A and B are shown apart, each in its own frame.
Chain A
Amino acid sequence: MISQVETLYLIASFLFILGLRGLTAAHTARRGLIFAELGMGFAIWGTLIHPDIMARFEIAGFFDTYKWILLTFFIGSAIGIAISALIPMTRMPERIALSHAFGGLAAALVGVSEYYREQVVAGHMDHTTMGAIGFEVLFGGLTFTGSLMAFGKLSGLIPGRNITWPLQNQSNILMFGGTFVLLVLVTIDPSNQILFYAMAAMPLLLGILFVAPIGGADMPVVITLLNSYAGLAASATGFALDNNVLIIAGAIDGASGFILSVVMSKAMNRSFRNVLFGAFGKVDEEDAAMASAGGERVQEASVGDAAMLLSGAGSVIVCPGYGMAVAQAQHVVGELAEILEANGTQVRYAIHPVAGRMPGHMNVLLAEAKIPYTSLMELEEINEDFKNTDVALVVGANDVVNPAAKHNPASSIYGMPVLNADLARSCIVLKRSMRPGFAGIENELFFAPNTVLTFGDAKDTLEKVVEALR
């Protein structure tokens, strides 16, 4: 029986990697997904004939063995499908954060369940298994509450701003260290149940405390890191249960989250450390920037002016940002592009890696608006083309188009790669108000002589522009 289980797991692992490979190109991605789904099917099949389950099957029969599995599996599938089918694309970051929470919780629960079985009931657990379970519960718990925090912040249930308190980093690091010490102690002495449950509870608190100070535009890094932790938790489960398919799938997930968080940090020109522990002083900086605002004058453009600029343009590059997601303006961006293209204008999109609240957020929204992915350009691909472009249309983006990042060493975003919207012949910025962006700094682009600002909700404004062009 065990060799059948292992064979099925081997096939599953192979299909996972094959499926992942499919994701390296848009036209093979769906095929890759099918491979991964098949792989998951094999992994589940293999588990349902696991020796421990079969032993139960011999005694208790089909119904008693599988009743809980079937019940929870069907409820879980129904919830999963309901959430996934109904959630709007603009809320994808919340959906992803929530699912990390479920993943973390599942891993932590399996860890506690294993501990209870081997140590509490059977009275013996070896040190390596204990260590693996410790990591599992640690990463699982941290991911669970951390992701719930991220979900709360993204959905507005708790304030999205960075919540800070005195000696925050010091106390967080101290607590993390303390949890780690507990992990070591419980590995040395698995029989100490109080230590184990203390160690299992600490990460739950830590998850909340770590994510609380991180706000707004830093969310992509948090989400990707939690993605990585969810994978590590799954991998640790594999070590605890001697299950290779778990180790492999978890490692892949961990690597993916790690790569994405590096990409995000690089795109903000910040280190991990700065994102995770950098909430201090932010408040002061913002106040200062707010106070200094209003010195210079911006040029305001009416909807009619904006429509005129666009209709006269031979080429347009749209620079979307989080504001486009908030205003749900992606569909009207698509409509505008259709009209312009019918008019002979070339329309492309410049996607900054950290535009939005998670990696690839803007791409998904624009794809939803039926914009072909061949016109969605990455920063490096398109940045040289701005200077030969008639109009850069900035929809709800701010820091990612701030030229200060290129030439003002005093700016807090200096060195961050930005879209060259300022180099286009003219630039239209759609903005709700003159409030500074997440970095809390003034955007030079708004004061440039070739820039005009159209105030208002991005969706409303664009609808009026579309109306005017028709």
Chain B
Amino acid sequence: MLEIFLGLYIFMLAAFVGYGVIKGVPALLHTPLMAFTNAISGISLVGSLVAAGAHYNDVSTVLGAIAVLCATINVVGGFWITDRMLRMFKKQDPKADAAGDAAS
């Protein structure tokens, strides 16, 4: 019983921290933010790994293994695509103006 309250405290504080930090994310980065949190929510990987590895019974193992598959797609794919997007965000390069028409 006590554990559930401890969990609720953690949830509440984490939600406030998350709210406070994410409020500061500029609209510019909202799509990367979604991909990023998507990767982080792949943390359910942690739960599915135990189900897939502890071998409680066959059903739990199979369900766990499918869950590992789904969560891994999110974790690995999510981080990958966030990086792909963030790499595209470039600041103004002063030389780019001069070399502007040569580039195209």
Contacts and interface: CB of A to CB of B under 8 A. Distances in A.
Nearest to B101: A342
A71 B70 CA distance: 13
A376 B89 CA distance: 11
A103 B47 CA distance: 12
Contacts of A252: 14-15, 17-18, 22, 37, 40
B64 A128 contact: no
Given A65-B55, A84-B81, A112-B63, A256 B33 contact: yes
A113 B55 contact: no
Nearest to A105: B70
Contacts of B31: 92, 96, 358-361, 363-364
Given A92-B35, A239-B4, 20 more contacts: A20-B22, A24-B26, A33-B79, A43-B46, A68-B53, A72-B52, A73-B68, A76-B69, A84-B81, A89-B85, A95-B81, A99-B38, A103-B41, A103-B71, A105-B67, A117-B60, A121-B56, A246-B43, A252-B22, A253-B18
Interface stretch (A224-232, A411-419, A444-452): A224-232
Interface size bracket, A side = 35 or more
Interface string A246-267: 1111111111111110010000
Interface string A384-425: 000000000000000000000000000000000000000000
Contact of B76 (A33, A76, A243, A247): A76
Contacts of A197: none
Interface in B5-42: 7, 10-12, 14-19, 21-42
A274 interface: no
Interface of B: 1, 3-4, 7, 10-12, 14-19, 21-57, 59-61, 63-93, 96-97, 100-101, 103-104
Q: Which of A60, A65, A247 has the largest count of B CB atoms less than 10 A from its CB? A: A247
B82 A241 contact: no
Interface string A109-126: 110111011001100000
A316 interface: no
A60 B63 contact: no
23 contacts: A23-B32, A29-B89, A40-B79, A44-B45, A47-B45, A50-B53, A76-B69, A77-B72, A89-B88, A102-B73, A106-B74, A113-B48, A113-B51, A235-B11, A242-B7, A246-B44, A251-B18, A341-B97, A353-B27, A363-B30, A370-B88, A370-B90, A373-B90
Interface in A327-369: 335, 338-339, 341-342, 351, 353, 358-361, 363-364, 367-368
Contacts of A83: 73, 77, 81
A297 B94 CA distance: 44
Given A20-B21, A360-B33, A367 B89 contact: yes
A151 to B, nearest CB: 13
Contact of B37 (A80, A227, A240): A227
Given A103-B70, A231-B41, A30 B83 contact: yes
B41 A363 contact: no
A338 B30 CA distance: 26
Contact of B75 (A40, A243, A335, A342): A40
